[in-house]
Each structure stands twice: as C-alpha cells, then as structure tokens.
Structure 1
Amino acid sequence: MSKEPPARYPNFVVNKHTFTMNTLLWILQGFLALTFAYSGFMKSSQEREKLVSAGQTGVANLSYPIIRFIGISELLGAVGITVPWLTGILHILTPVSAVCFAAIMVMAMRIHYRRGEYWSVTLNVLLFAASVFVAYARFREI
C-alpha cells in the first residue's frame, strides 16, 4: 500500500489504528443514519396512531407539527451524518448532525422515562452514546 493518499480520497489513511477507528466511525454513522432515516420517514409520513402502534410511543402526546418537525429533522440529520464526510464537502456538518441526534435522544429519554418505558430509555441511551462518540471523534479530525 502506498504511503501517499490518492488525491481523490483526502481522508485515506494507512495507519492501522486510524483505519480501524475510521471503519468503526463509518459503521456507527451508517447505523445512526439508517436508524434516524427510518424513524424520520415514519414521523414525517405516518399518523400518530400508526406510529404508536409501530412502537414509537414517545409521540403519543405530541402535536402533529412537532412530530413532523422531529421527523424532518431526523431525515436531514441522516443525510448530514454521512454525506458531508463522504464527499469531503463541509465536514463540519457530520459532527454537528451527531450532536443534534444526541440532543434528540436526550429529549426522547425524558419522554420515555416519564412514561415508564425503561427499555426505550435504554435504546435512547445507546443511540445517545453512539452519537456523542461520532461527534467527538469527527470533531477531532477537523
């Protein structure tokens, strides 16, 4: 493997540790993007009752405009956590999207905790941790 990164891939690395970390970050970014894209699509296109029956019980007491806003935010975040880093354009948007996902998870934890849905809180904590890790690591690379 050449020591010089190809011009087309400015983030190409040959250090094994850095390569492993970058791979882990891409796996987490892909997982977060898919998770939030699915959730965002559902929230921006489905009725509240269908969302609740599909397991997204946190929206039960939210107004439709708030549900739609959260859904659109999640869809935009799914794009923002992957596309900027992939294209090399506006890298800052990737960790900013991860921070926004973490903020959404804090609000979701609060809602689910008040409803006594501790399993959902656990999932929110895991998504929060993944988001914070991606944000921290990608901010360090900028």
Structure 2
Amino acid sequence: MADQFQPNSQVLNVSLWSVQCFLGISFFMIGVTNIFTSNEDLIGSGFTYIAHVPAFVPKFAGISEVLGGIGLILPAATRIQPQLTVWAATGLMLVVVIAIIMYSWLGEWANIPSPIVTGGLLAFVIWGRNSKLPISSR
C-alpha cells in the first residue's frame, strides 16, 4: 500500500521538470519564430505590438526567449551550473512582465491571461529550483 504513493519531493521534482520542459520548448519555439520571421509577417499574424516598438525589439526578444528556453532545461539537465536555470526563469519572467505591460498599454486585454499564467509557471520554477528542490552541481 505504501508503494502506491510517491514522496512529496519526487512529485515536486517531476512537476518542476515537466514545467521546465514545457516552458523551455515553448519559449525556444516562440523565440525562433521571432528571430526568423519578418516583422511584417509577425504583425500580420496578430503580434500588433511590433508596430509600436523599434524594429530590433522582436529579434532581441526572440534571442532572449531562445536563450531562456535553453537555460530552463540544459543547465539543470547536465548539472553544470544548474543555478543558471533559476536565472533563465528570472530573465523570462522579465520578458513576461514586459509583455503584460505592452498588452495593457495597447489595450489588448484578451492577450493578458496567457503571460500571467506563464509568469505563474515561471514563478513555480524559480521557487522550486531556488529554494525548495535545487539541483546540485556535479
């Protein structure tokens, strides 16, 4: 009977890894899209904020998202500088906060829930990997 239940730390570890992988892959894919798609095509796809920012911003955001996505997974998976995972999540949290500010500024209220949920997931990773269940270096 006792074998049916996992210890809380194992459940937390699986949850953290699941969220890290989901967010890491998502941010990586979004970042690649921002880097390799023209600003005009991005605006046509519904990213209307791009019309209101300098031309380099979507590419810079894309690079930040790609690096952050990699940073959510790779340092923890290799156990080489695993604290970089927390820093990557913190940097992506900044990207999410900027997105919320931009959507608010443009009055695009329907777009705000997604970055709020993403921010909550990033906060979970920051909390889990920083204080509750950090990964030790090799």
TM-score (norm 2): 0.86
CA contact (8 A) 1:29 1:81 kept: yes
Partner of 2:105: 114
Which AA in structure 2 matches 1:103? L
How far has the Cα of 1:39 moved from its partner?
Answer: 1.3
Which AA in structure 1 matches 2:54? S
Identify the match of residue 104 of structure 1 among 75, 95, 98: 95
Number of matched residues? Answer: 128
Identify the match of residue 63 of structure 2 among 58, 65, 72: 72
Identify the match of residue 40 of structure 1 among 12, 31, 52: 31
Identify the match of residue 51 of structure 1 among 35, 42, 50: 42
Which AA in structure 1 matches 2:93? A
Runs (4+) of structure 1 exceeding 6 A deviation are: none
How far has the Cα of 1:70 moved from its partner?
Answer: 0.9
Identify the match of residue 21 of structure 2 among 7, 16, 30: 30
> Following the alignment from structure 1 to structure 2, what is the Cα–Cα distance between the partners of residues 125 and 80?
20
Larger relative contact order, structure 1 or 2 (CA cutoff 8 Å, min sep 6): 2
1 or 2, which has the higher helix percentage? 2
CA contact (8 A) 1:29 1:82 kept: yes
Q: After superposition, what is the alpha-carbon deviation per residue over 1:55-103, rounded to whole angstroms, capped at 9, x for unaligned?
A: 3333231222222111111100111000010011001110111111111
Identify the match of residue 61 of structure 1 among 52, 55, 61: 52
Matched, 1:88 2:88: no
Q: Give the root-mean-square deviation of aligned CA atoms.
A: 1.3
> Following the alignment from structure 2 to structure 1, what is the Cα–Cα distance between the partners of residues 103 and 58?
15
Counterparts in 2 of 1:126 and 1:83: CA distance versus 1, 3 Å: same
Q: Gaps spanning 5+ residues in structure 1: where? A: 1-14
**Which moves more between the two structures, 120-129 or 52-61?**
52-61
Instruction: Indicate the percent of aligned positions where both proteins have the same amino acid.
Output: 27
> Following the alignment from structure 1 to structure 2, what is the Cα–Cα distance between the partners of residues 107 and 57?
15
CA contact (8 A) 1:30 1:82 kept: yes
